[in-house]
Structure 1
């Protein structure tokens, strides 16, 4: 814990969503009027601790509401479910049931986790209700644009609705699944970890400790392919210490970092980093208007402290060797400089190969 306190601030504040970001969310159908807000769910009258299969405290509590509140809340949550994952119509509402409303007592966002079940076939899924925070919204949008994974979320006033990202929590995977993986699987996971680390570093998504990402195994012919996805976007472009955006400096990731050093040569690591940067550049090129609009929102917003911006741009100037960071005045400009650098390098190399 002593190391982490040096790396990160004790608590990140919540930044409001300004008019420009709100316009962006409306344009891309993220801003939708919803029937219930985060504060409404805080009216629970009691709770019990939620334990996992090993009888360990999950840091979630299951909430209980008065009879009249529960009827209204359940109906509103089912409507939100349809808005998030379907066409928003009421046709299937009679076939949905809200099985649980859990509240997390750990972390900055203190989310509610909603479990919705289809009573016809017993299939269920989750979504989350959180306090809207500008940096978190930027993190979600950057994930949607720059990563291989699309993501659904809705924002209305001070409430954020997020879809559940399926996967094995990183800390659980490292402890219980990684030791059972074959050597070939470990090599593949090492490759994915390098690419995930590079993606987080380039887009300035911080605090990717093992419990803030998930590992998703997918069967492909006679093998299992592992992908790594971020699930926590609170620390988007906030901290000033560059190490916060580099997964290898988080002690919770030590076993993954150790595995990378054992399974991959330096030349392979560099290759995978270049592959990931090239992928991000291609994503920006194929969605130029959306990317530019979002970055302009960040450049006209405040999502960090001036001291953090000053520290980070100086560290990036040394790390990347680009003096343009010196001109940056906020986190949006810092991120724009990084992404422009990545895109420029990709275009320079691809143009040389063409001729």
Structure 2
């Protein structure tokens, strides 16, 4: 059998690109001969993140779309026609058998091109509130997958979000000592990891750094990942105090996860999925924008008992001192929350989706013959 020819479309933001590349990696593990081409645009992180993962990238004109499926979208502008035409040319050139889309600016042209050419379409939606691209695509195919059962899309099957094996295969206990040493943390005592995502979050940074003294008194170590463009100043403590480590960015997050006992962070879809996969309890601080979709991402693990939820407006040093520190200093509660977080995880979504795509391609070939 000839190698399956697959085009993946999930660009612009890391939240779209990461699951796209994780799926592609799983596809290569299952079928090393698979010919995988990524569609992207010059906007966002496509030209940085996709080539770094070793996949050929074909660029098409970017088409920012309204977040709602409304008349503005249906009144197709000339730039969308140009982008669909460019996507069609790529699909023809690589002789694509299927387009697997994950949303983002590049997905709509890819879906429309594939639909017009009669090619197979597979959709994955990572967010609790589906984006306009994937809602449109769900009308074109029955091959639809979501991160959670609560996501409302036609024909949807919930499988979780494709993650890296370095995350899904992480043994936090086995890596704990080495990970803490890597960051200059002590081998014993609770560790709070702080992160606001790839760019950091001013509100989270200010609240936790403002509670540095209280965290030290409580015996809590801190691994504070500020974001590369954020500056956080923490008053110097006594050398005998628990470490408060401030770093701008972490490339290999599995080490940060292994070092931590608890996380305070935003609740993007990828963050929620990774923390559940590794069994890390968290205090989620949803980004107070985009209609509250980040809150929806966190609600399942919060309902399962694996996380706390705090509004951005309520997050301050006092909340850290009165609400979070009692949790951080209660090993039994952290252990229980960790177990509940693990139960909410879905570590094999990448393989499930890859197997489905390969099966769908094989079935399409049999039907065509």
What TM-score do the two structures reach when normalised by structure 2?
0.23
| Structure whose residues are more often helix by fraction | 1
What TM-score do the two structures reach when normalised by structure 1?
0.24
